[in-house]
Homo-oligomer: A and B are copies of this chain.
Amino acid sequence: MTWNRPSQDCPVEIALAAISGRWATLVLRDLMHGPRSFSQLREGLPSLSAKVLTERLDSLVAQGLVSCSRSPGFPVRTSYELTPAGMLLRPLLVQLYRTGEALLGELAQH
């Protein structure tokens, strides 16, 4: 099936939603390396504000790509982790990188 407008049912849009938004691919890259706490993610991405990080994570959780667990006690510790669905994004991130490299090479010729 094909579409003549952006639709949430189109697989392309589903995949796009997962990697959309500033910082999204960088957050995902970090999570590809294993579970991370909120602070760990912030340390790795110092210029990313708490608000935007929260937005990205909420979105990923809502899409079923990331899960979050909280340690009991105080202070709280969180652990964000890719779900099986989230791991399916790895080939897409790889392809984004490869395509970008190819474009840099091709465009450098002229």
A residues touching B (Cβ–Cβ < 8 Å)?
2-6, 10-16, 18-19, 22-23, 25-26, 29, 44-48, 64-65, 84-85, 88-89, 91-93, 95-104, 106-107, 110
Contact residues of A: prevailing secondary structure: helix
Q: Establish whether residues A100 and B25, one from each chain, have CB atoms under 8 Å apart when the complex forms.
A: no
CB distance from A85 to the nearest CB of B (A): 4
A18 contact set on B, CB distance < 8 A: 99, 103
Whole-angstrom distance between the Cβ of A38 and the nearest chain B Cβ: 16
Q: What copy number does this chain have within its complex?
A: 2
Known: A97-B11, A106-B85. A6 touches B23 (CB 8 A): yes
In the complex, what residues of B have CB within 8 A of residue A92's CB? 95-96, 99
* A100 in complex: contacting residue of B13, B44, B95, CB < 8 Å: B13
Residue of B nearest to A106 (CB): B85
The answer to whether B45 touches A96 (Cβ under 8 A) is no
In the complex, what residues of B have CB within 8 A of residue A25's CB?
12-13, 16
Min CB distance, A28 to chain B, in Å?
A: 10
